[in-house]
Amino acid sequence: MTKYSPNEADANNGSTYTAEFLRVKGLAERGVANAQHSLGFMYFNGQGVAQSFELAVVWYRQAAQAGLEHAQYNLGVMYQKGQGVEQNFEEAAGWYRLAAEQGYAAAQYNLGWLYAKGQGVPNDTQQAMYWFSKAAEQGDAGAQNNLGMMYDTGKGVPQDFKQAIFWYRKAAEQGYARAQFNLGLRYDNGQGVPQDVGQAMSWYRKAADQGYAPAQFNLALRFDKGDGIAQDSQKAILWYRRAAEQDHASSQFNLGLIYDNGQGVPRDEQKALDWYRKAAEQGHAAAQNNLGLRYDHGQGVEQDYEQAHFWYRKAAEQGFPGAQYHLGLLYDAGHGVVVDHQEAIFWYRKAADQGHLRAQFDLGLRYETGRGVPQDYRKAMSWYRRAAEQDYVAAQYSLGLLYDNDDGPQPDCRQANLWYQKAAEQGHTQAQFALGLRYDNGLGLPQDYAQAYHWYLQAASQGHTRAQFNLGLMFLAGQGVRSDAAQAWMWLTMAERAGYNAAARYLPNAASRMDPLQLAQARERMEMLPG
């Protein structure tokens, strides 16, 4: 950040300042350089005279041309900010250089900044480093912090975390908030120093107490997650709020989440919405996506697909995958926009390429069914596999089905079993049944009634009617489990009540193997089952 402080003072037009102004003006008009600079300062701040940046420039220039370094510096500031003159970075750099070469630290810092930004001078990290070093060696905290950042990032010098720490500490110990924050980050990440949460928190707190919003946010984040310290929702909210009130977008977004979830505060949809909106209006992509979701589903606001589309697109154009996916859904359904499957697929692909699981799965489904794209089983398999390898259970099952399809691009029983197994272990009912069926019939793996029983039971317990029917038959025949007419009757009855008519043919057989008391008890147990 460029420094401008020597020009800053409180305006005061009292009689004391007026008398001083007249005295200084007389000296300035006689060519006394220090008086010329002071007169420029008075015009700049409106001390004893009406404020005039133009006249401030006139008098700064006379003192600067006489070689007065702080006047040269202040004239550089006027050119850099465009105060009293047209903004001109080249002029600013020229005046800063004159003051810097006389050892004026603030000018050395600002000249370094112009080289770092390439404003009025060529972008030159070596020159930036040179001038920052000059100012840093004189104890300029901002320059010390910037040197630390250059060593930290390896910009203009070989990356050196220890040197970064050295300069951060120099500035931090002078109370420079940004350096305190940067030092906290290094202790947080263990870069250049042993990782130390206590030291990180201490430096964050020093910067946060000075109102430095990024430090307030990091402090809040630690209390929010309880990462290395005791979790404390109230302290998290306190620090998020302090940063949020300074328009720190991530703090505003996290406050929105806190009110959305009722974490440490009563759940409040309106407050959540207000904080999301504040962050979204600053360009925070996740907040824009959440605001889009609110309008999409009418949560806390009247449902408005056009507003949903507006906010999703804002986030999507920043590359936020969730918003890209939701934008695709709007185009697919024609909500707030004209139905456009090609546009939907464009946004699904954007999200999918970033690893969005549902977008990858939906693209797979599109290519499998040929909806909006030419049917292409190989592309379907490719997209399913991307999601499946990230443990997306629906994609694992769908991939299993494609390998199980004799008319598919790559029939492969072993691959089918592998993906069914992965989905089944995550509780996917259809996959559990499919795996049970394959063990039952020895499809692509050794026939194993015990395994078949295990997977049928998992699926049947979740209401899968064919699994219930097959389980009933296994209890009736004693396959993979001890023969049990009562269990057979119960599972067959469940399947029959759920509409699986084939079960009715086997119920008399199961009932005939029980005495009246057993049948009555089985019926009583059935009545006690939910649903």
pLDDT in tens, 211-222: 999 999 999 999
CATH of domain 16-138: 1.25.40.10
DSSP-derived letter for residue 47 is: B
Can you tell me which residue has the tokens 């037009």?
13
**Coil/strand/helix, residue 529:** coil
Q: How far apart are CA 234 and CA 292, in angstroms?
A: 28
Element housing 184 (H / E): helix 177-189
Share of the chain above pLDDT 90, in %: 86
Can you tell me which residue has the tokens 């295990």?
454
| Ranges in the chain annotated CATH 1.25.40.10 | 16-138
The pLDDT mean for the chain works out to 93
pLDDT of residue 367: 94
Q: How far apart are CA 110 and CA 142, in angstroms?
A: 10
Can you tell me which residue has the tokens 């790559």?
410
pTM of the full predicted structure?
A: 0.82
pLDDT in tens, 437-471: 999 999 888 999 999 999 999 999 999 999 999 99
pLDDT bracket for residue 58 (50, 70, 90): very high
Burial class (CB in 10 A: 0-12, 13-18, 19+), 98: buried
pLDDT in tens, 239-295: 999 999 999 999 999 999 999 999 999 999 999 999 999 999 999 999 999 999 999
Which residue from 258, 265, 336 is spatially nearest to 290, judged by alpha carbons? 258
